[in-house]
Amino acid sequence: AQRVTQPEKLLSVFKGAPVELKCNYSYSGSPELFWYVQYSRQRLQLLLRHISRESIKGFTADLNKGETSFHLKKPFAQEEDSAMYYCALSTGGFKTIFGAGTRLFVKA
Amino acid sequence: SAVISQKPSRDICQRGTSLTIQCQVDSQVTMMFWYRQQPGQSLTLIATANQGSEATYESGFVIDKFPISRPNLTFSTLTVSNMSPEDSSIYLCSARGEANTEAFFGQGTRLTVV
């Protein structure tokens, strides 16, 4: 079965601290993985995708096929990073399955 | 990129009635989807809206309850039929241009059934 697991519903860190939002997936095919973010009062938007291997707003995520993980990391959290983060898996090219989401709260 | 407009943005409806949500994309897209996001929950895919043919529904969702139309490449509607309080949720329209590319989202329709 296709599944995306985000074990933490809420993650609270201090400004300047490192952040890691965990994501594990289950998919028998070749996965396309994404991180989406939803800031307060804004629509859901793409943060980054594994195939791009880029850093967006200081965030990076590496696909580990052995551990079936796609954890999102940032070395120094900022207050404006506070948001809801969703890990997502694209299957068959078009359909997207979302994890439960992790709310990141960065304290001053 | 694509900009997606949904309307209404919110509504309060009586149980037993139906509501149709409209989704307009500002460019032609290959795929359109409808999601539900219940309070405190993640996004659950309801169906894929297919242009010119019947939508493809996910397990647990049926056409009689959630009829979907997609008359062209830029527009789709989702109807929530015979509503009950359990249908209270945010309904999201999403679109993608090509396989494995970014998905774009509407701002959502917040539905409350009383």
Name, in order, each residue with C-beta under 8 angstroms of B53's C-beta and a sequence gap of 6 or more.
none
Q: Which stretches does DSSP call E strand in chain B?
A: 4-7, 10-13, 19-25, 31-37, 43-49, 56-57, 68-72, 75-80, 89-96, 104-105, 109-113
Q: How far apart are CA A73 and CA A65, in angstroms?
A: 17
Kindly state the average pLDDT of the residues B32-40.
Answer: 90
Position B21 pLDDT exceeds 70 = yes
* Of residues A96, A99, A101, nearest to B103 (C-beta): A96
- Among B5, B31, B6, B36, CA closest to B21: B6
Q: How far apart are CA A21 and CA A8, in angstroms?
A: 8
Q: How far apart are CA B81 and CA A39, in angstroms?
A: 31
CB B2 within 8 A of CB B26: yes
Kindly state the average pLDDT of the residues A65-78.
Answer: 95
User: What is the radius of gyration, based on Cα positions, of chain A?
Assistant: 13
Q: How far is B104 from chain A (nearest CA, A)?
A: 7
The two beta strands, B109-113 and B89-96, are antiparallel
Q: What is the pLDDT of residue B99?
A: 67
| Tokens, residue B37 | 């996001």
What confidence tier does A52 reach under pLDDT thresholds 50, 70, 90? confident
Q: Count of A–B CB contacts within 8 Å?
A: 45
CB B12 within 8 A of CB B88: no
What confidence tier does A58 reach under pLDDT thresholds 50, 70, 90? very high
Backbone angles phi, psi at A52, to 5 degrees: -80, -30
Position B98 pLDDT exceeds 80 = no
Q: What is the pLDDT of residue A90?
A: 87
Q: A7 in the Ramachandran plot: left (φ > 0), alpha (ψ -120 to 50) or beta? A: alpha
* Of residues A49, A95, A101, nearest to B42 (C-beta): A101
Average pLDDT, chain B: 93
A10 interfacial to chain B (CB closer than 8 Å): no
Kindly state the average pLDDT of the residues A21-38.
Answer: 92
Kindly state the average pLDDT of the residues A3-10.
Answer: 95
What confidence tier does A93 reach under pLDDT thresholds 50, 70, 90? low
Instruction: Give the residue with greater pLDDT, B80 vs A94.
Output: B80
CB A52 within 8 A of CB A62: no
Residue of B nearest to A5 (CA): B42
Average pLDDT, chain A: 92
Using CA atoms, how far residue B34 sits from A73, B51, B80, B96, in Å, is: 29, 14, 11, 12
* Of residues A44, A90, A97, nearest to B105 (C-beta): A44
A17 interfacial to chain B (CB closer than 8 Å): no
Percent pLDDT > 90 in chain A is 74
Kindly state the average pLDDT of the residues A39-61.
Answer: 89
Residue of B nearest to A85 (CA): B42
Q: What is the pLDDT of residue A95?
A: 83
- Cβ separation of B105 and A94 shorter than 8 Å? no
B108 interfacial to chain A (CB closer than 8 Å): yes
Percent pLDDT > 70 in chain B is 98
Q: What is the pLDDT of residue B34?
A: 97
Using CA atoms, how far residue B114 sits from B9, B15, B19, B39, B65, in Å, is: 17, 6, 13, 16, 18
B42 interfacial to chain A (CB closer than 8 Å): yes
What confidence tier does B47 reach under pLDDT thresholds 50, 70, 90? very high
B91 interfacial to chain A (CB closer than 8 Å): no
Kindly state the average pLDDT of the residues A10-26.
Answer: 97
Q: What is the pLDDT of residue A60?
A: 94
